Amino acid sequence: MSAHHLIVGGQRSGKSRQAEALALRWPGRVSVVATALAADDEMRARIEHHRAMRPAHFHTLEAPLALSAALQAADDAQHLLVVDCLTLWLVNWLMPMDGEPDLAGWAAERAALLDVLPRLRAQVIFVSNEVGWGVSPMSREARHYVDELGRLNQDIARRCGQLTLMVAGQAWSRPVEDMTHA
């Protein structure tokens, strides 16, 4: 089973803080693979807050779209990669601020990520939101996004050895079960 880890939860559930706590125990190099785009003042402030709260020895890699290439470029067995977060990475593909979604590009990048993940020597901690527990969104685009994120989270979880659900700042963790024969 893979040493990768998926941390999911609602907004402000403590996902990033949990990923950081795990990363602080890592004996080697740690990089945060940031996926957010600073499209407005509020998002710029959020990004700056996350940066300021990170330990100084954590490196930051920007990967708003080409996540698989960023993971491959940083791949090293002594390197821990914290992807924060899949939620915004998907937003960048399906709900870009400037233009139409690139659905073919998204499909190719998603496939590339799922393909490369089992081959990485670096351990990866993924952070993602669990957004499908609420009311079904009103718009077709938002429903598509929720469905895609749910599928992505499931596919990433199947390639990880550990899954953590964050609820009100509390971590509920367990090994991922092999569901291929269920």
Q: List 123's β-bridge partners, or say none.
A: 80
CA distances from residue 179 to 24, 107, 157 in whole angstroms, order as listed = 31, 23, 10
Residues labelled as active-site residues: 50
Give the annotated binding-site residues for GTP: 9-16, 34-36, 51-54, 62, 84
- Cα separation, 106 vs 10, in Å, equals 23
Instruction: Detail the residues annotated as belonging to a binding site.
Output: 9-16, 34-36, 51-54, 62, 84
For residue 9, give the nearest of 164, 155, 173 by alpha carbon. 164
Name the maximum alpha-carbon separation found in the chain: 48
Contact (Cβ atoms closer than 8 angstroms) between residue 161 and residue 1: yes
List the alpha helices (DSSP H) in the chain. 15-24, 41-53, 67-73, 86-94, 103-116, 140-158
Amino acid at residue number 19: A
